[in-house]
């Protein structure tokens, strides 16, 4: 129990505003995460690091964290430790895939950054010829990079715009991915996370709260 309480305390340090402005945050998340819900990422054939062509439809049976990034984008590079952390912590679940797509970049520079940063997951390159098709559907260029989207079965968007740092954002993203396996969208997952986080902090009991405590114990980044 003390270990769980310490984990909740660690989260609370980064969730201070998050908890005190709960209603505002939920309303913001509804607008933020739901914007692309129901869209389907188009089928495309992209190249991996070895030059092999990979079909996006190969991941139709998976839950996917789709990370769009560019080699010139400093926030994209800064976010990569969080991407690597999520890939490492969820690697035991073969149905969850981290898919990093390099966009608006030169291929050789893309390869160098992936190798230098040891970027985990499946790394694919989006050529200029497919850039418009990709952007026209997801409007990633209007949101800015990096841009993370959670996909359910059949490449259907369950939420977009979540952060993936080494702290609370990464923890929430992992929770969303695990919930997405059940077909639950990102906004519903966030609402559930907030409720269970508060219940755990108040030492409430129940199956859902106990399962949430197990999630925290297993997946929260140790600080």
Those residues whose C-beta lies under 8 Å from the C-beta of residue 17, and which sit 6 or more positions away, are none
Q: Note the pTM of the prediction, 2 decimals.
A: 0.84
pLDDT of residue 4: 44
Instruction: Report yes or no on 51 lying in a domain.
Output: yes
Query: What mean pLDDT comes out for the span 24-34?
Result: 47
Summarised one tens digit per residue, pLDDT across range 91-141 is: 999 999 999 999 999 999 999 999 999 999 999 999 999 988 887 777 665
What is the sign of the dihedral through the CA atoms of 15, 18, 20 and 26? negative
Instruction: Report yes or no on 218 lying in a domain.
Output: no
CATH code of the domain in which 165 resides? 3.40.30.10
Q: Is the pLDDT of residue 10 over 50?
A: no
pLDDT band at 20 (very low <50, low <70, confident <90, very high): very low
Structural domain of 73: 38-187
Summarised one tens digit per residue, pLDDT across range 196-212 is: 999 998 999 999 999 99
What is the number of structural domains in the chain? 1
> What's the count of helices (H) and strands (E) in the chain, helices before strands?
10, 7
pLDDT of residue 35: 58
């Amino acid at each position: 129990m003390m270990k769980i309480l310490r984990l909740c305390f660690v989260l609370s340090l980064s969730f201070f505003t998050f908890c005190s402005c709960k209603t505002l945050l939920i309303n913001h998340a509804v607008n933020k995460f739901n914007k692309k819900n129901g869209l389907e990422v188009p089928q495309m054939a992209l190249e991996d690091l070895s030059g092999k062509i990979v079909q996006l439809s190969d991941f139709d049976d998976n839950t996917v964290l789709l990370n769009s990034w560019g080699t010139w984008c400093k926030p994209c590079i800064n976010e990569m430790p969080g991407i690597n952390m999520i890939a490492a912590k969820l690697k035991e679940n073969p149905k969850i895939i981290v898919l990093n797509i390099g966009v608006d970049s030169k291929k050789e520079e893309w390869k160098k950054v992936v190798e230098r940063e040891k970027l985990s997951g499946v790394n694919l390159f989006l050529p200029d010829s497919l850039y418009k098709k990709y952007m026209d559907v997801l409007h990633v260029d209007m949101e800015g990079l990096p841009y993370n989207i959670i996909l359910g079965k059949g490449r259907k968007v369950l939420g977009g715009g979540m952060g993936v740092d080494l702290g609370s954002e990464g923890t929430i993203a992992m929770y969303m991915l695990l919930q997405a396996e059940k077909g639950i969208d990102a906004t519903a997952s966030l609402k559930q996370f907030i409720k269970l986080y508060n219940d755990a902090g108040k030492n409430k009991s129940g199956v859902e709260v106990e399962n949430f405590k197990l999630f925290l114990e297993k997946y929260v980044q140790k600080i």
